[in-house]
Chain A
Amino acid sequence: MATIGLLVVLPLIAAAALFFIKKDSLRTPVVIGFAALIMLACVWLAIGHLTGTMEFYPLKSQLITYATLVIDVILGVYVFVKGIKHGVPFASVLAGIQTAIVVVFELTVAHGVNIDNDIYVDSLSVMMAMIIGFVGSGICIYALGYMRVFQEQHKDQPDRRHIFFSIFFLFLSAMFALVFSNNLAWLFCAWEVTTVCSFVLIGYTRTEEAIQNSFRQIVMNMLCGLAFAIALVYLGAAGILELDKLINLGAIGLAAFPIALLAFAGLTKAAQIPFQSWLLGAMVAPTPTSALLHSSTMVKAGVFLLAKLSPAFGWNFNGMMVMLIGGLTFLICAFIAISQSNAKRVLAYSTVSNLGLICACAGVGTPEAMWAAIFLLIFHAVAKSLLFLCVGTAEHHIGSRDIEAMDNLFVRMPTIARFMALGMLTMFIAPFGMLVSKWATIVSIADTGNIVLMLILAFGSAATFMFWAKWLGKVLAVAQHSADLEKGVSKSEWFAIGLMAFMVLFCSVAFPFISESVVVPYLAQFEQFVFPGLLPAWQTISATLGFDNLLIMAIIVLAILASFAVFFGRSKKRIVPIYMAGVGVDSEKRSYRNSLSGVSESSQRNWYLEDWFGEKALLPISNIMGIVVLVVGIALAYINLGGGALL
Chain B
Amino acid sequence: MTAISFILALVGFGLVAPIIGCLLAGLDRKITARLQGRVGPPLLQPYYDVRKLLAKENVSVNRFQDFYIAMSLFLAILAGVMFFAGGNFLLVVFLITLSTLFLIVAAYSSRSPFAEIGAEREIIQVMSYEPLVILMTIAYFLAVRTFDVGAVFGLSQPIIVSLPLVFIAFLFVLTIKLRKSPFDLSYSHHAHQELVKGITTEMSGKTLAMVEVTHWYENVLFMSWVGLFFVWGSWIGILVAVIVALTIYFLEILIDSNFARVKWQAMLKWSWLVTLVFCTINIVVLIMVS
> Which A residues are closer than 8 A to B by beta carbons?
407-408, 410, 429-431, 435, 439, 442-443, 445-446, 449, 451, 454-455, 457-459, 461-463, 465-466, 469-470, 472-474, 476-480, 544, 546, 548-549, 552-553, 556, 560, 563-564, 567-581, 587, 590, 602, 604, 606-607, 612
Contact = CB atoms under 8 A, between A and B. Distances in A.
A544 B201 CA distance: 42
Interface stretch (B42-50, B61-69, B215-223): B61-69
Interface in B28-72: 57-67, 70-71
B183 interface: no
Contacts of B64: 476, 478, 568-569, 571
Which label, helix, strand, loop or mixed, suits the secondary structure of the B interface? helix
In the A-B complex, list the 10 residue pairs whose CB atoms are closest, starting with the nearest.
A473-B108, A430-B94, A462-B130, A458-B131, A573-B60, A458-B134, A578-B112, A478-B62, A573-B58, A449-B287
Contacts of B116: 473, 477, 604
B124 A466 contact: yes
B126 A469 contact: yes
B290 to A, nearest CB: 8
Nearest to B271: A462
A429 B97 contact: yes
A567 B67 contact: yes
A575 B113 contact: no
Contacts of A577: 61
Contacts of A556: 78, 95
A472 B103 CA distance: 12
Nearest to B140: A446
B27 interface: no
B61 A575 contact: yes
A602 B116 CA distance: 12
Residue in B60, B82, B123, B146 whose Cβ sees the most chain A Cβ within 10 Å: B123
B104 A462 contact: no
A466 B111 contact: no
Contacts of B283: 451, 454
A552 B94 CA distance: 12
A512 to B, nearest CB: 13
Contacts of A472: 101, 105, 108
Given A430-B97, A465-B97, A579-B196, A408 B62 contact: no
Interface string B220-238: 0000000000000000000
Contacts of B196: 579, 581
Contacts of A571: 60, 63-67
B63 A573 contact: yes
Interface of B: 1, 57-67, 70-71, 74, 78, 82, 87-88, 90-91, 94-95, 97-98, 101, 104-105, 107-117, 119-120, 123-124, 126-128, 130-132, 134-135, 137-138, 141-142, 146-147, 196, 201-202, 268, 272, 275-276, 279-280, 283-284, 287
A466 B126 contact: yes
Contact of B138 (A446, A469, A544): A446
B71 A451 contact: no
A494 to B, nearest CB: 23
Given A445-B138, A556-B78, 18 more contacts: A430-B94, A435-B94, A451-B280, A458-B131, A458-B279, A463-B127, A469-B123, A477-B109, A477-B110, A544-B146, A548-B1, A556-B95, A563-B71, A571-B65, A580-B113, A590-B111, A604-B117, A612-B268
Contacts of B101: 429, 465, 469, 472
Given A439-B94, A556-B78, A571-B64, A458 B135 contact: yes
A357 to B, nearest CB: 14
B233 to A, nearest CB: 21
Given A466-B126, A569-B63, A430 B131 contact: no
Contacts of A581: 196
Given A431-B98, A466-B123, A449 B142 contact: yes
Given A466-B126, A552-B91, A575 B62 contact: yes
A480 B90 CA distance: 38
A553 B146 CA distance: 18
Given A466-B124, A473-B105, A567 B70 contact: yes
B111 A578 contact: yes
A407 B111 CA distance: 9
Contacts of B202: 578-579
Given A451-B287, A546-B88, A553-B91, A477 B108 contact: yes
Contact of A549 (B60, B88, B131): B88
A569 B101 CA distance: 18
A544 B145 CA distance: 9
Contact of B60 (A455, A474, A574): A574
18 contacts: A429-B97, A431-B98, A446-B138, A473-B108, A480-B62, A564-B67, A571-B66, A573-B63, A574-B58, A574-B60, A575-B60, A575-B61, A576-B60, A578-B110, A578-B111, A579-B114, A590-B111, A590-B113
B284 A451 contact: yes
B63 A570 contact: yes
B154 to A, nearest CB: 16
A430 B94 CA distance: 6
Contact of A604 (B113, B130, B131): B113
A468 B74 CA distance: 22
Contacts of A606: 120
Nearest to A477: B111
A564 B61 CA distance: 19
A472 B120 CA distance: 12
Contacts of A465: 97, 101, 123, 126-127, 130
Contact of A574 (B59, B71, B120): B59
Nearest to B120: A607
Contacts of A439: 90, 94
Nearest to A408: B111
Contact of B135 (A455, A469, A476, A604): A455
Contacts of B1: 548
B67 A573 contact: no
A549 B202 CA distance: 36
B94 A431 contact: yes
Contacts of B114: 579
A466 B134 contact: no
Contacts of B126: 462, 465-466, 469
Contacts of A590: 111-113
Nearest to B105: A476
Nearest to B272: A459
Nearest to B207: A573
Contact of A469 (B104, B113, B128): B104
A455 B130 contact: no
A276 to B, nearest CB: 22
B61 A473 contact: no
Nearest to B132: A458
